[in-house]
Structure 1
Amino acid sequence: MTKFISICALVTSILLLTSGRPVKTYSELYRPQFHFSPEKNWMNDPDGLVYYEGEYHLFYQYNPKGNEWGYMHWGHAVSTDLVHWKNLPIAIYPDNNSTDKVKCTAWSGSAIVDKNNVTGLQEGSYKTLLAFYTSRGCGQRLAYSNDKGRTWKKYAGNPIIPEAPGEETRDPKVFWYKPGNHWVMVLYRMPGGDKAKEGISIYSSTDLAHWTFESHITGYYECPDLFTLPLDGDSAKMKWALLGGDGSYMLGDFDGKHFTPESGKKVLDYGQNFYAAQTWSNAPDGKRIQIAWMRESKYPGMPFTGQMSFPTELSLKSTPDGPRIFRTPVSEISSLYGKKMDKTDKNIIPGLKNYNLLKGIHNECVRITGVFDVKSSNMFGITVRKSRKEAGTEISYDVKKQLLTCIGSQMPLAPVNNKIKLDILVDRASIEIFANNGEKVITDNFTPAEQADDMELWTHGGELMVDSLEVHEIKSIWRE
């Protein structure tokens, strides 16, 4: 009895000692476990995405002073696999010694590798990394690094494009245009401050320091991107895609100076939290890899604000409605897989006992993939992060309306051969749904109840055939 009392006293002492301790960084209640977020403070747009010497660089809009927007710097992280990230010191600071919340702060932009030392800035054996960014109200500027992005210097000839009085300009994206043997910059611009004229301006350069205006396209807002994709994997059928801040895009032709649309605007993401998407330059194997800021991130009591979407690989595929950009999670996610559950050829009948194929799976972070034959179902779906006390969050598909819904986001989705294919990433504070091989995507944030980690597969009104269903536990990128 004495021994039992001693053990109880020891346990009580441990609980009392640890009860007031702060939660370890990257273990907080709403901390993303496999999506990037900063240790603390505000984060928004991804910037300067570039691959060099085995590292993917992720820069981002960052406020080192607090958990709200303002005082923008370029935060910095690197990864060798697009999954595990290492935080590095702040890369780019405001210009002109600005301490203002907005004036001359380091806004969004892009980065490239100066492979041929066009700028003459290279020192040492490493190629120079060039970062093009908007110094808010102080023009487009250039910073460079000769040590694989660890330290940065400002170009002496800044600004490389001055901001005209009364104009809005920001978010330069720079890339090499091989047929014309010159560099191209796409830049959000509101000529003369006229809202009706806002869009994307195209500039060209042969030395990366002096830029010539070429053309302007209206109807876009912020964070432009312009790149090529092979249609159905055929390099002889390349198409250009022009994107804006909300992810909307047009396909067309580009001659190095003018973009000619061949389609109207298309939706890249139907969620409420996908914004400022950018793609990596110099990515290996010619891959087009994209990441976005999951905007409007509100996580009560957390030391940080903002997270990135999970990196996706883009492809261009033919559909009955014409060519469309498809997005799928990068394959490196498999390095995070833990326990696995898989089931095939299961017929689900509403109301029958044990029809929930996801019963008994308990985890906050999972990847769920499934192929569902809608058969006679009126509506089916998966509910995640539920418990006895909490209803959880529904991902539902209305068969008659051909509409997929999650957290208020709605996405039109037609079955293919009467089947719906879903690939769902669930993290502590986000849900990403890639439907029908990534043809359509929803990106949403959420704040589920603590310790609610049950899941349910359900159907209403009729039978649902589950051709296949896999669930992978996703391990944290922040813990060994």
Structure 2
Amino acid sequence: MKIIKGIRIILFACILILFSNCNNDDISSKSNAELVTVGDNDYRPDFHFTPQKNWMNDPNGMVYYAGEYHLFYQYNPNESVWGPMHWGHAISKDLVNWEELPIALYPDNLGNIFSGSIVVDTNNTSGFKTGSESPLVAVFTHQNPANNKQTQSLAYSNDKGRTWTKYANNPVLVNNNKADFRDPKVSWHKGTQKWVMTLAAGDEIMFYTSTNLKNWEYKNSFGKNVGAHGGVWECPDLFKIKDINGQETWALLVSINPGGPNGGSGTQYFLGDFDGETFTSSQVETLWLDYGTDNYAGVTWSNEPNGRNLFIGWMSNWSYAQNVPTYSYRSAMTFPRTLHWQKSNGKSIIVSKLATELIYATGATVIEKTDVPSDLELLDDATLGGGKFYLETTLDFSTINKANIKWGNKSSSVLIEYDKANGELTLNRAESGFKFNNLNGNIIKCPYVLPASNQLKISMLVDKSSMEIFLNDGERVLTALVFPLAPFNNLEITANQKTKFIKKIKLSKLSK
């Protein structure tokens, strides 16, 4: 006992000596890189929707009505992991400030409430109207937890979406031979004067039509032997899409899990034609809406007042969504985006741009420069450290081959690199803190060949634990989560040689 007591005294003395020799600079550097404790509030975004508590995944039933953008979503009110699905509900007037409302749809004797959509039944084709308001009709998947059987059902609201009544004769569409038969996206087709249901069924998309939302007739299928088939197809969306000149084509979005471009879940798309019954596409290449790992199951708003294809996605990935280091809640949605189509390097693609409502979140300018002589370094910046900013920069690759954007601190960071010779942008979050189940080595790759101008415009929206990166006005997009263990208060933009390559840079705060 005396020997043990003596050893304890010696150890205690050594610890005192060790700490007495630590100067303030050492303690400061460690607190910046290692000793800061982070929690849910440090990661909860301010400008993206998150539920107050518990689990959220796919966006559902997005509809605009009477001055409000409605966002419904897959929700487990009991835990912060996936479980019995309900429809959560939130509304916004500006897409920046969201109000969470009571749960809209609960599980019942037919099963859990999986994904679906909502339409404004202006002409009361369903017969559900009881008052002065147009009925909002939800078309959703019932999932029987006992046998996983999936059927399609209806619910309706006559009070602007505040309360919901399930249709007495649910389900309205049954299935006997498909293990996966879900996520109906319904829209009105003017040409045929019918409702069209776009439905995911295993590894294909099935199309049904109806005149009253209650009785559905199968028309056609799409997807066999085209696109990516590394996993189950989910959460489809079908809509007309315009280019900047107003020329229209049709777009079909299909989420897939697994099989995304950088591992885990992702969203592919097809451009083609739709006649009200059949979707056709001559596309042979698999095209991805977002090359990042954290944009899944996204669809567009119905009845959008400005005629926009306004999109939002679930900002996570099924490979690690239930393990990210937020514990009172999981997860967040992307910031809303508008979708257009255009020609790029001779190919038709969808371009994504942040919704113009971002202006309601953009605050003071921190730095704005043009024709920067060489590399740029911004250290110990409070805006960067706060993790809420919007960065816009244009880099000229006429005389350089590689350029890096590094956001981090003394010991960890996230690194964006563009390699002109390889025609590829990479986002490396291997040393950013949380390891994301080591998905794809924590390196996200995005193929992109520069235009003839040799210029690369990078726009990046950062909101605490998320990065949404847009290349050349949305020709490519990467959405990625990042969970720093301490504030990232430094920014460096460098090239593989010393020359003038930063055409412009603007860093703005985000504020409400």
Q: Same fold (TM over 0.5)?
A: yes
Alignment size in residue pairs:
430
The Cα shift of 1:428 comes to 1.0
Q: Distance in 2 between matches of 1:212 and 1:171?
A: 17
Which residue of structure 1 lines up, in the alignment, with residue 438 of structure 2? none
Q: Which residue of 2 aligns with 1:41?
A: 54
By how many angstroms is 1:181 displaced? 0.8
**Which of 369-378 and 201-210 deviates more?**
369-378
Distance 2:501 2:379 in 1: 14
Structure 1 residue aligned with 2:192: 180
| Residue of structure 1 in register with 2:14 after alignment | none
State the alpha-carbon separation in 2 of the partners of residues 357 and 377 from structure 1.
22
Distance 1:183 1:166 in 2: 23
Q: Note if 1:335 corresponds to 2:360.
A: yes
Aligned counterpart, 2:137: 130
Aligned equivalents of 1:348 and 1:474: distance in 2?
A: 27
SS at the partner of 2:175? coil
Deviation at 1:394, TM superposition (A): 1.1
Say yes or no: does 1:205 pair with 2:217.
no
Q: 1:324 to 1:166 in 2, by over 3 A?
A: closer
Taking the TM superposition and a 5 Å limit, the aligned residue runs for 1:243-392 are 243-245=253-255, 246-264=266-284, 265-296=286-317, 297=321, 298-349=323-374, 355-356=376-377, 360=381, 362-363=383-384, 364-384=387-407, 386-388=408-410, 390-392=411-413
TM-score by length of 2: 0.81
Decide whether aligned partners of structure 1 residues 345 and 123 sit closer, same or farther in structure 2, where only a CA change above 3 A counts.
same
SS in 2 for 1:248: strand
- What SS does the aligned partner of 2:358 have? helix
TM-score (normalised: structure 1): 0.86
Q: Which of the numbers 433, 458, 467 marks the counterpart of 1:422?
A: 458
In the other structure, the counterpart of 2:9 is none
In the alignment, the residues of structure 2 paired with residue 370 and residue 302 of structure 1 have an alpha-carbon distance, to the nearest angstrom, of 35
Worse overlay, 129-138 or 216-225: 216-225
Give the conservation status (yes or no) of the 8 Å contact 1:423–1:435: yes
Give the Cα separation in 2 of the matches to 1:229 and 1:438: 15
What's the secondary structure of 1:29's corresponding residue?
A: helix
Deviates more, 1:47-56 or 1:161-170: 161-170
Equivalent residue, structure 1, for 2:448: 413
1:250 alignment partner AA: F
Residue from 99, 107, 126 that aligns with 1:86? 99
The answer to whether the Cα contact below 8 Å between 2:372 and 2:504 also exists between their aligned partners in 1 is: no
Identity, in percent, stands at: 39
Shift of 1:165: 4.8
Give the secondary-structure state (helix, strand or coil) at the position aligned to 1:276: strand
Runs of 5+ unmatched residues, structure 2 = 1-38, 144-148, 256-265, 430-442
Report which stretch shifted further, 458-467 or 263-272: 458-467
Match of 2:31 in 1: none
**Which amino acid in structure 1 is aligned with residue 253 of structure 2?**
L
Contact 1:43 1:63 in 2 (8 A): yes
The residue matched to 1:333 in structure 2 has which SS?
helix
Matched, 1:110 2:123: no
Taking the aligned partners of 1:300 and 1:343, their CA distance within structure 2 comes to: 34
Matches within 5 A, 1:53-68: 53-68=66-81
Contact 1:376–1:462 under 8 Å retained in 2: no
Distance 1:357 1:418, change over 3 A: farther
Determine helix, strand or coil for the equivalent of 1:332.
helix
Deviates more, 1:261-270 or 1:105-114: 261-270
- Give the secondary-structure state (helix, strand or coil) at the position aligned to 2:359: helix
Distance 2:277 2:201 in 1: 16
Provide, for residues 14-58 of structure 1, a one-character-per-residue CA deviation record: whole Å limited to 9, x for no partner: xxxxxxxxxxxx971211121111111111000001000010100
* Residue 163 of structure 1, aligned match among 175, 196, 220: 175
C-alpha separation in 1, matches of 2:178 and 2:355: 42
Q: How many Å separate the matches in 1 of 2:189 and 2:425?
A: 39
Could you report, residue by residue, the CA deviation over 1:76-124 in whole angstroms, capped at 9, with x for unpaired residues? 000011111100000011121x7xxxxx100000011010111111122
* Secondary structure at 1:210 match in 2: coil
CA shift for structure 1 position 359: 7.0
Equivalent AA in structure 2 for residue 132 of structure 1 = V
Q: Residues 29 and 357 (structure 1 numbering): CA distance in 2 closer, same or farther, change over 3 Å?
A: closer
Of 120, 126, 145 in structure 1, the residue corresponding to residue 127 of structure 2 is 120
How far residue 464 of structure 1 moved from its aligned partner, in angstroms, is 4.1
Name the structure 2 match of 1:76: 89
- Alignment partner of 1:31 out of 44, 55, 79: 44
Q: After superposition, what is the alpha-carbon deviation per residue over 1:413-446, rounded to whole angstroms, capped at 9, x for unaligned?
A: 2223010001101111111110011010001111
Over aligned residues, Cα RMSD in angstroms? 1.8
Counterparts of 2:489 and 2:133, CA distance in 1: 47
1:215 is aligned to: 220
Alignment match, 1:457: 493
Do the aligned residues in 2 keep the contact of 1:108 with 1:170 (CA within 8 Å)? yes
Gaps of 5+ in 1: 1-25, 99-103, 191-197
What amino acid sits opposite 1:376 in the alignment?
Answer: T
Q: Which amino acid aligns with 1:409?
A: I
Secondary structure class of the residue paired with 1:356: strand
Q: Counterpart amino acid of 1:187?
A: L
The aligned counterpart of 2:12 is: none
SS at match of 2:492: strand
